[in-house]
Amino acid sequence: MLNLTDVYLRQDDFELRANLTIGDGRCVAVMGPSGAGKSTLLSILGGFQTLTSGRLTWHDADISDVPPSQRNVAMVFQDNNLFPHMTAFQNVGLGIAARLKLRKAEVDRVNTALDAVGLAGLGARRPSELSGGQQSRVALARLLVQRKPLILMDEPFSALGPAMRLEMADLARDIAERTSATLLMVSHDFKDVERIADDVIWVEAGVCLPPQPLSEFLASPPSGFTDYLG
Ligand SMILES: Nc1ncnc2c1ncn2[C@@H]1O[C@H](COP(=O)(O)OP(=O)(O)OP(=O)(O)O)[C@@H](O)[C@H]1O
């Protein structure tokens, strides 16, 4: 269980507030207008921004001041955070250890993850030698080997076409389920959200509403949602 208690962040003239709980293993879409604070919410959870006040707890442990490297969190950004000079295999291997020389069991883990995301035989390619969808698969394979209980994705597939985005969203959900992780995904595309989300956190003007089951959210959406759909 992830708890945000009276979380408040002030950054220049922008303020973010959140008072909410996210259940274990939930797949949560974070939606809201541009500039509302969705990325800021994720970066607070990842430990990249320090709270002005309030408390963040993970399974009752206060993680408000725990640095990103010591949080049990994996983050995927729009560019998939792949290192361009490393192969797909090495990029996935970084999810296990920072050293490039992996042990036999670790090599097997990386290869199993590459197989699981449909990249068997492509481990030797660098990101520039892979399609956008395949690059996303590398990032997802890294999530598989990382096995972090909390996965944060900030518009991870926005560079992909609609069909590929849905496929990747399915795969992300599948990986979260396999690793029993809680998944938070910022998405601007309601089709992705409809497909994979259990719950929705609506963020508007710096206020993060508590997660609502998708069906409840759709039954009485916030007023800004219609504009958001366009
Ligand atoms: N480093 C920063 N310093 C000061 N203000 C910032 C910084 N980063 C973002 N902001 C501001 O904080 C607010 C929230 O930004 P954020 O990126 O969280 O919004 P968002 O909902 O993710 O938007 P989008 O959907 O456009 O990506 C915006 O007003 C933005 O201008």
- State ipTM: 0.94
CB 27 within 8 A of CB 85: no
In whole angstroms, what is the distance from residue 54 CA to residue 101 CA?
42
**Percent with pLDDT over 90 in the chain:** 77
Instruction: Find, among 156, 212, 217, the residue nearest to 188 by Cα.
Output: 156
Q: Please give the residue that has the higher pLDDT: either 57 or 189.
A: 57
Instruction: Decide if pLDDT at 8 tops 90.
Output: yes
Q: Is the CB of 37 under 6 A from ligand 1?
A: yes
Residues contacting residue 229 through CB under 8 Å, at least 6 positions apart: 190
Q: Which CATH superfamily is domain 1-72+190-230 in?
A: P-loop containing nucleotide triphosphate hydrolases (3.40.50.300)
pLDDT (0 to 100) of residue 120: 95
Could you tell me if the CB of 14 is within 6 A of ligand 1?
A: yes
Where do the domains of the chain lie?
Answer: 1-72+190-230
Residues 112-124 have a mean pLDDT of: 94
* Residue of 9, 15, 38 with the most ligand 1 atoms within 8 Å of its CB, for mutation: 38
> Measured from the CB, is residue 35 less than 6 Å from ligand 1?
yes
- Please give the pLDDT value at position 209: 96
**pLDDT at site 53:** 97
